[in-house]
Amino acid sequence: MKENRDRKPRIVCIGGGTGLSVILRGLKKLPIEITAIVTVADDGGSSGRLRNDLQMPPPGDIRNVLIALADTEPLLERVLQYRFTSGEGLAGHTLGNLMIAAMKEITGDFTHAVQEMSRVLAVRGRVLPASEQDVVLMAEMTDGSIIKGESQIPQTGKRIKRVFLNPPEPRPLEEAIRAIQEADAIVIGPGSLYTSILPNLLVKGMSETIYAANACRIFVCNVMTQPGETDHFTASDHIKAIYDHVEKPLFDVAIINNEVPPPTIQEKYAEKGQKMVLPDIDRIQEMGCRVIADNLLLYRSVVRHDAERISSHIERLIDERMQKRHSG
């Protein structure tokens, strides 16, 4: 990657869950400055318990992102991700979540705790919560019912009409807003559309700042549908759902997978009600969005994005942007 004369390119990645972590593992190898903005709407499992017990933002997605960006040995990563299986009060908690909670108690501030954990783990970049406020994700279903809680929304068997936050438009972290304003590229996704990606964009001023940013705004689409969230969704359906929520065309480029998984993989996912997200390229282009379609699949025990291939596409997009700025 070619650098600007006086600084490295700045990239902001927005999301949560495992999808954001996968992308960051590839991007951290590039000569760029990374800021990860992470959802704080999780209310399930260890994160939900710590959130209720200690009145703190849920640490789970933050933990995964810290580990993805950290310069850690494999054994340390296993330790941080270790989930206790016994012990009164301990069972179900991950050690990494408990460490973030302890750091929050010591520093008295969640964002400061994340910064200190970043320093301890030699994180390559910044990790910021989208908001420090205690927020609850809500969903209105197509039958008019209202569902409370991120962990409950996909379990209803109903179709989601829209999601929203309570309280509405929570205050953003000023550092996060500033990072978006200064970014050369903004990457949103992959991840759970309604429960990991949209909660970030519904924070006050977030989508407006992204829309106004002088950056290449990139959407990385999921490779498989998610039961209870994006059943039967095509790639353009993902983008349309975001546009419907924020009422703005946020993306310049969409990076989507066009490789069909082998039949054995498709059968395995079909048992869980999941299918490949179809790459309806023409429809995305009609929405004014450039499309990069490629084989983005890695096969392990589950289908994952090829982080290095996606990073190479993002790298080229940043190069294009920097060259245009330099020539301009």
- pLDDT tens digits for range 231-247: 999 999 999 999 999 99
pLDDT at 33: 97
Model confidence at 89: pLDDT above 90: no
Structure tokens at 5: 């004369």
Task: Tell me: do 170 and 219 sit in the same domain.
Answer: yes
User: What burial class does residue 23 get, using C-beta atoms within 10 Å of its C-beta: 0-12 exposed, 13-18 middle, 19+ buried?
Assistant: buried
Instruction: For residue range 54-85, list pLDDT tens digits in order.
Output: 888 888 899 999 999 998 777 888 999 999 99
Among candidate residues 82, 102, 123, the one where a domain is terminated: 123
Task: Tell me: do 315 and 172 sit in the same domain.
Answer: yes
Residue 309 in any domain: the answer is yes
Residue 4 in any domain: the answer is no
Among candidate residues 123, 145, 177, the one where a domain is terminated: 123
pLDDT at 3: 47
Model confidence at 52: pLDDT above 80: yes
Model confidence at 295: pLDDT above 90: yes
Residue 5 in any domain: the answer is no
Model confidence at 111: pLDDT above 80: yes
Among candidate residues 90, 108, 123, the one where a domain is terminated: 123
Residue 143 in any domain: the answer is yes
Residue 2 in any domain: the answer is no
Task: Tell me: do 57 and 29 sit in the same domain.
Answer: no
Instruction: Fill in the amino acid letter for 103.
Output: M
Task: Tell me: do 73 and 100 sit in the same domain.
Answer: yes
Task: Tell me: do 142 and 165 sit in the same domain.
Answer: yes
pLDDT at 1: 54
pLDDT at 326: 72
Instruction: For residue range 22-34, list pLDDT tens digits in order.
Output: 999 999 999 999 9
Residue 3 in any domain: the answer is no
Model confidence at 14: pLDDT above 90: yes
Task: Tell me: do 198 and 239 sit in the same domain.
Answer: yes
Share of the chain above pLDDT 90, in %: 79
Task: Tell me: do 196 and 280 sit in the same domain.
Answer: yes
- Can you point out the beta strands (E) in the chain? 10-15, 33-38, 126-129, 136-141, 146-148, 160-166, 185-188, 216-220, 253-257, 290-294, 297-299, 303-305
- Name the residue range of residue 70's domain: 42-123
Model confidence at 280: pLDDT above 80: yes
Model confidence at 35: pLDDT above 70: yes
Task: Tell me: do 299 and 174 sit in the same domain.
Answer: yes
Give the Cα separation of 197 and 219 in Å (integer): 11
pLDDT at 5: 58
Strand ordering across the sheet containing 136-141: 146-148, 136-141, 160-166
Residue from 162, 132, 160 nearest 39 by CA: 132
pLDDT at 145: 97
The mean pLDDT of 167-190, rounded to a whole number, is 96
Query: Which band of pLDDT confidence, cut at 50, 70 and 90, is reported for residue 199?
Result: very high
The mean pLDDT of 161-165, rounded to a whole number, is 97
Model confidence at 2: pLDDT above 60: no
